[in-house]
A and B are shown apart, each in its own frame.
Chain A
């Protein structure tokens, strides 16, 4: 080696050593990101401005029969006019399309059965700027039912509860708002096991139309629980369910939205134990693995000894969990409570609450899907009520304080001047981890959009009248704010 080579040898050796030091041993694959998967939460109100907001209502009856119908309420949460359009979809496709305009801080109602006549019709509302919220009210002689409309479509939907005992009617309402046919595979689970009827494999929903599936007509008669899984092999859709209870301990009518995803936590702000009150939960596990689901009753006195109740849910199975049977006698005290169901397994279950309360001489059954925290763990402290009571209603809101510190709640009514705190409903204290009910009897809150503003994270359900002159309440979630 000659001297001239020394500098180069040093450089090359150092370079090679440096490369060995910084070089990787294995290839690294980074996952590019485009956007968060949509429709992984419950219907919510986006506080940020968006280009457009699309709302997909699960469907209302529009058969033209007396006292049967439906309406969609669009609330403008802004101080400017809200422009948009809506389409009413029926079995044969779009049945009406129209532009809409909502004045600032006001609401517009679409009377669906005034436009169409069909067993069920679904409304798709598109609003510019996204500053609005949309809810539907199904009108039925057995009781009115309020439900938020979905913010998005999905290619999977789940129902944990289903009920056809004593001729009760259950109808799945599948809405395809797209220009292309959707194809769905349905799977059912009852206490007897699961089934995948051939007729419902590749079940098509034509473009921009609504198809309904009466569960009882499939042979699932007198079933105390029928869970349903809908997986779209092509396209995306919106799934709703209309239940008309005619016996078996249930009574009433309700239209609800299905769960667009499996989750590992489901929360219920409302729940009650007492004379004549039946509270059960349908837990559906459509996965191929058995899971254990823990239920915890919240908002009850500290000396209550109910503890954690564990429910085994078999793979592809559904169970009906009755706390009264599972918990020791008296462990769950009478009165209101909140409930959370959770599993340590991957998101794998859907939980619905079936709450039957006395209503005059009869009972009223209300079925509600639990509320999951958002995928990032977010729980809202502000909730919106688009459709509120039109007459003074006691215990109209049931709120669970999810934080272990006391919070304050203020109810704002949205009027011509915008959201205004209701004096009688301001600074309502909520103890840590407690359930409170709020009466909406102040005239300022009637027929208004309401905003539940809390200092803590809360879950908020509303219990609205089932219609003028009817006893009992219909339960539904308020719409959480998606945050800014």
Chain B
């Protein structure tokens, strides 16, 4: 060892290495070039894809004397760096903590050591500059607020003009390159072992302040820093980790006296962030903060333990540390100072650029939400009217969950069938409203609009233009589809409206399409593409699948719609001149996502039919005019024709846009044309299969129009404005004006306050018209009419005539799902056949086995069919019903509802005796019409699938008005009675001796298994998208040798050539404390 080395304080540089890139050689060289004489290098290499030997070889090439140790699995920067405490003995020296992507200038370390001694600091750090452009500042120390939020001090992209070149105290030094006293680092226990990435520096520096040590930035020491952790570790949930560790630091390091108030402040701040985040497109950050805050609750024991651990290190009053922290909220301050960065995709790289922030998004979102609140103001007081599919949510979420768990699907005539995933979802969502289902329904319905608008907003981030984003948001939110769907209670349309933008947004992310660099707007970049590794692409694909699966749980039609959207996007990419790989990824990820969505809805999808997905068809075709379809007028919307103006930007965007704006204009145009064609052809009945309702097919059209509006606005900003005058300028202005005109109908629709929904919904009218089940027994109701008028999904009998069965309870949201297929249709179809052919006047007897006590024909629903604009009631339907000898019209007859009571009805659970009992053994309509059924005795009144029902029975036949199902069991005085078919289709039990009967339904044993499988599938999907990794690497010890490599205990403390007069003193160590005046070092 040369004399100079012996006189300088020893420094152990600890470099944590993991899968280094090409830059690493520069790092090694820069570290090797340090002019500080007494530094020993310790490289801790975490396992990765790159072989250790290769890394070691690269290090040895630059630094033959460096210690290189394999550290095993990569458990996080802090934990690996902490290994220095084991590998280095003695405290007479300094630790230089380094990332593997820094390149310090040769004098950096020396300057840091000098300043550390000069200022008697505990830790010092350099000025960081950009790796590629050292003129640009990255950070010069960091400020922090009391909520652990970092304030970077320098602006992104800020050029270094020595404006920050003063040595000063800071609260945080980035862990990328900083010098800390070895004794202090050891005494504090190094980095918090619970923090693997993001925030370990904050936590350590905070504790340094608690210990009384100064934390100083030395701008004269310059270090280039690549800072590409996001790109190097895309598998990490960076945002969530940052939020989680920030919350942990606040919870463990805030003084006990201030902790209660800080906790309240954190809650309020997080809620404020949620609100602000909603308006500013930074909802994700706020959501992560909320998650992290809530995540503290289960981690309370660990937090308490950590607080105990750090307590001995609290050597200075809390107020002094508090005074070093920034006032207010750094994040809110950041926003208020309009400081915002965004990541753009450049030519093969990702760049983070300063993005000019405006208040336009805030105003746009305030307008959207305020508009929705104003437009739906009556819903807040009166609840969502039970129009169309807006049937009220069941009162009991527990009962809803039980119904889902059961093997019995009670909708329609009932059947053993998998139940819709949506029931469980609704039940789960009720937690958010503390099980207030009415509130949940209101929030759910209105929330779908917000979700759809938010999805469009996110999708529009492909345009690095606030105007474009706002344009897309407003156009989509103000689409007459919204008011139309609201006025007519089309929940399926709203679910599609909410899901499709997110599906497209997430699909493009899964395809690798990101926001292109606006500085490259002159270049004809087709798409801003990023390379995705298979894991990340899989994660993004699964995320699309989850989003589609949630939508499908409520509206199965979303599945084919998203699949078609995928195909259109893939083809449009090719048409737009995009790469075949992008098109392929669109197709592959789209197909995979829909497959995942289907998988997540197992086993319910096994009960699907195409008719169940798209709904029963009205007669011939729906018969809407082209102008009605094109203006999205699916419900009551005044001046909807003005929405036709929104098609001008579709063409304008194609004519004006360049680069990625053009690509998205093409995708928008093809969405509009293809789904517009489907809507028109479906409306004409010209498709080979039954088409979904027009509103569903118009959702992608509306999204296409919104994207086109954004593309035309972006094109006007980037491609037209500022150019020489020509036809482009007037067209661009016209397109902008068209957007304004096109949203007028959506704005006008807000005036009514309830979107012109009828005051007396059909569902309420039906409920009011039918008696409650009483001692006469439980019953069912047969609804017949035009499928568009019926309040529940129906089965088509013939063109324009559909039917559905509901029970005697009030209609609720469960009834809006298509009932499972069963043999009830055999009986109903037979009865309708006989009636329509005038083949019998005893149709009531034919319907009796299904427990149908009432037959209801609704001529009007107040939405699709109104008194002023009625849909025709099927010719001969009411007359045929009136003709039946056993059907009696209920009086007084309502002008809006035809109700017939079946005098031959059987209660849903009935005891048959005599001729009826005898007849039940036979099958066929011929038997039914000759049998007098009206004398049956109701039994097991109120029986359901959840438990046993007990009743006293006489001899006879217990008949259940459900399609034959041997999962229903009856025992009389403990003796099991076998089930048999009754009337060929229903369920019956022959009771030969009187006694106490016990009727129950036993779910198939596979039902629970299937539910478990479904839950597991969902958990797997959620784990995949959440990037949660099983921390197996933490279970074992790090594999670095325990034997010390370096011993600092015998190192000299002072060097005559360096102006260090005293050893810095740490709390607990001999010597003056940092609080004492005069303990600063001299130079």
Contacts and interface: CB of A to CB of B under 8 A. Distances in A.
A234 interface: yes
B800 A33 contact: yes
A52 B840 contact: yes
Contact of A54 (B658, B841, B891): B841
Contacts of B840: 50-52, 54
Contacts of A83: 930
B889 A235 contact: yes
Contacts of B654: 1, 5, 8-9, 12
Given A27-B624, A179-B903, A11 B888 contact: no
Interface string A48-70: 00111010000000000000000
A29 B628 contact: no
Contact of B875 (A27, A28, A33, A130): A33
Given A4-B524, A26-B625, A19 B619 contact: no
Given A51-B926, A179-B888, A180-B888, A32 B872 contact: yes
Contacts of A27: 623-625, 628
Interface string B649-671: 01100111110001001100110
A170 interface: no
A38 B834 CA distance: 13
Contacts of A279: none
Contacts of A8: 572, 575-576, 654, 665-666, 669-670
A25 interface: yes
Interface stretch (B180-188, B307-315, B677-685, B739-747): B677-685
Contacts of B532: none
B623 A234 contact: no
Given A19-B626, A50-B840, A52-B842, A1 B655 contact: yes
B929 interface: yes
A36 B877 CA distance: 9
Contacts of A130: 839
Give the size range of A's interface with the partner. Answer: 35 or more
Interface in A291-342: none
B681 to A, nearest CB: 7
Nearest to A49: B839
Contacts of A26: 625
Interface residues of B, number: 76
A234 B890 CA distance: 10
B412 interface: no
A155 B882 contact: yes
A128 B926 contact: yes
B619 A30 contact: yes
B876 A12 contact: no
B1071 interface: no
A15 B872 contact: no
Contacts of B799: 30, 32-33
Interface in B913-931: 925-926, 929-930
Nearest to A151: B838
Given A4-B524, A11-B575, A178-B888, A34 B669 contact: no
Contacts of A153: 883
A12 B650 contact: yes
Interface in A128-153: 128-130, 152-153
A32 B875 contact: yes
Nearest to A155: B882
Contacts of B577: 4
A198 interface: no
A218 interface: no
B834 A51 contact: yes
A30 B617 CA distance: 12
A152 B654 CA distance: 67
A152 B883 contact: yes
Contacts of A2: 524, 658, 662
A7 B835 CA distance: 56
A162 interface: no
A31 B619 contact: yes
Contacts of B629: 23
Contacts of A51: 834, 839-840, 842, 925-926, 929
A229 B807 CA distance: 41
Most chain B CB within 10 A, of A54, A155, A235, is at A54
A7 B662 CA distance: 12
A177 B888 CA distance: 11
A177 to B, nearest CB: 6
A35 interface: yes
Nearest to B619: A32
B836 interface: yes
Given A32-B874, A51-B834, A20 B626 contact: yes
A236 interface: yes
B674 interface: yes
Contact of A30 (B526, B623, B650, B672): B623
Contacts of A52: 839-842, 929
A18 interface: yes
Contact of B893 (A7, A29, A234): A234
A183 to B, nearest CB: 9
A36 B838 contact: yes
B623 A29 contact: yes
A36 B875 CA distance: 7
B625 A24 contact: yes
Contacts of A20: 626
B978 to A, nearest CB: 31
Interface of B: 524, 526, 572, 575-577, 618-621, 623-630, 647, 650-651, 654-658, 662, 665-666, 669-670, 672-674, 676-677, 680-681, 684, 686, 786, 798-801, 834-842, 871-877, 879-880, 882-883, 885-886, 888-889, 891, 893, 903, 925-926, 929-930
Give me the 10 closest cross-chain CB pairs, A-B, nearest first: A32-B800, A23-B626, A15-B673, A28-B623, A35-B876, A50-B839, A35-B836, A32-B619, A180-B888, A34-B877
Given A12-B651, A13-B651, A29-B871, 20 more contacts: A1-B656, A2-B658, A5-B662, A9-B654, A12-B669, A28-B623, A30-B620, A32-B800, A32-B801, A33-B798, A33-B876, A35-B836, A37-B879, A54-B885, A83-B930, A126-B842, A153-B883, A178-B885, A179-B886, A180-B891
Interface of A: 1-2, 4-5, 7-9, 11-13, 15-16, 18-20, 22-39, 50-52, 54, 83, 126, 128-130, 152-153, 155, 177-180, 234-236
28 contacts: A2-B658, A5-B666, A7-B575, A8-B572, A12-B651, A12-B672, A15-B676, A22-B681, A22-B686, A23-B625, A24-B626, A24-B684, A27-B624, A30-B621, A32-B872, A32-B874, A33-B798, A35-B838, A35-B879, A36-B876, A37-B875, A50-B838, A126-B842, A128-B930, A152-B838, A179-B888, A234-B893, A235-B889
